[in-house]
Amino acid sequence: MQDLLRRYGATLTGAFCLLTAFWLLILVIVPNITLLEASFRPYLPVADIGGPRDVYTLANYRYFLFGYAGNRDGYNYLDLVVFGRTLVAAVFVTIIDLVLCYPIAFYLAQVARGRMARILAVALIVPYWINEILRAFAFRIIFGASGIINGSLIGLGIIDSPIDFVRENVALYAGLAYAYVLLMVFPIYNAIESLDRNQIEAARDMGAPWWRIHWRVVIPFAKPGITSGCTIVFMLAAGALAAPQILGGPSSLWFTQIIYRTFFESVNWSRGAAYAVILLVVCTLFVLLMMRIFKVKLGEIGR
């Protein structure tokens, strides 16, 4: 706070604090508290809302685990399987982005200079001027039966008939990975950019191969940026809706699609709120667990 006061003065610092507090309170805290409160409410006709039957209950969370009353299967396997599959897919998308973006971030931070660095940065940013939904439709066209990928594979004689990349969820994973590239690149770039190049040169002078330089020097230094990027990508991938709706195959179902259908097709806002809370809590706990395993503190991510 003292640094902000010295840099911007009392008026501008106060404005920053008020705007930040407004953002957190009105757009984050209040909606999530409302969602949490609604998740403990029963699904009732409009006439019964506020009446004696409108009491707090765990029925919505119980339904997520066990399904409807008298369910012979014992558990709500449909929702549980979709939920688990969504988390696994989000982890997979995060790993894809990390593998793709780490070399790009390292090249931008430590290798590219001057004009080349600016060109690469612009090349990364400009495609994201296009709306996410339009990009998802573009991926569906590219991976379609008559798209450029199938056309190239058939033209080269690699395959005889088109591959259904949409049904196999290849288009979905590719679209999700591409959608969050910038959110992985720039946190890693920000961390690696502050690394003293003399450390890399010293490792080279001592005969360390390139993979050991990255493993022992670059990655430990960039760990906060890597964790930040992975956290953002994982949370957004797990909560994605547009891309799974457009790029998902007929047999694929994302947990957010169940939430959407519960809210707007079944009009069961209480159960939809419970499902949304479950997704938020489990994803947050998963991220905190990964931070603990890799020994990264929250303050390091926020730098």
Q: Confirm whether 169 is domain-assigned.
A: yes
Cα distances from 298 to residues 187, 225, 290, in angstroms, run 14, 11, 11
Both 18 and 144 in one domain: the answer is no
Both 13 and 136 in one domain: the answer is no
Q: Using CB atoms within 10 A of its CB, is residue 120 exposed (0-12), middle (13-18) or buried (19+)?
A: middle
Both 241 and 109 in one domain: the answer is yes
Helix, strand and coil content of the chain, in percent to the nearest 5, comes to: 75, 0, 25
Q: Give residues with Cβ within 8 angstroms of 185, minimum separation 6.
A: 101, 104, 105, 108, 124, 229
Cβ-count burial 199-209 (b if 16+ within 10 Å, e if not): ebeebeeeebe
Q: How many domains does the chain have?
A: 2
Written as tens digits, the pLDDT of the chain (303 aa) is: 666 667 767 778 788 889 988 888 998 899 999 999 999 999 887 777 778 888 899 999 999 999 887 777 788 998 999 999 999 999 999 999 999 999 999 999 988 888 888 888 888 888 888 888 899 999 999 998 888 898 888 888 888 888 888 888 889 999 999 999 999 999 999 989 888 888 888 888 888 898 899 999 999 899 889 988 999 999 999 999 989 999 987 778 899 999 999 999 888 999 999 999 999 999 999 888 888 877 777 666 655
- Give the pTM: 0.88
The residue assigned the tokens 């931008």 is: 108
Do the beta carbons of residue 213 and residue 201 sit within 8 Å? no
Both 149 and 282 in one domain: the answer is yes
Q: Is 161 helix (H, G, I), strand (E, B) or coil?
A: coil
Domain range for 245: 70-301
Both 99 and 248 in one domain: the answer is yes
Q: Confirm whether 107 is domain-assigned.
A: yes
Q: Confirm whether 47 is domain-assigned.
A: no
Both 284 and 185 in one domain: the answer is yes
Q: Confirm whether 135 is domain-assigned.
A: yes
Q: Give residues with Cβ within 8 angstroms of 141, minimum separation 6.
A: 147
Q: How far is CA 176 from the centre of its chain?
A: 9
Query: How confident is the model over 210-252, as pLDDT tens digits?
Result: 889 999 999 989 988 998 899 999 999 999 998 999 998 777 8
Both 135 and 28 in one domain: the answer is no
Backbone angles phi, psi at 160, to 5 degrees: -95, -30
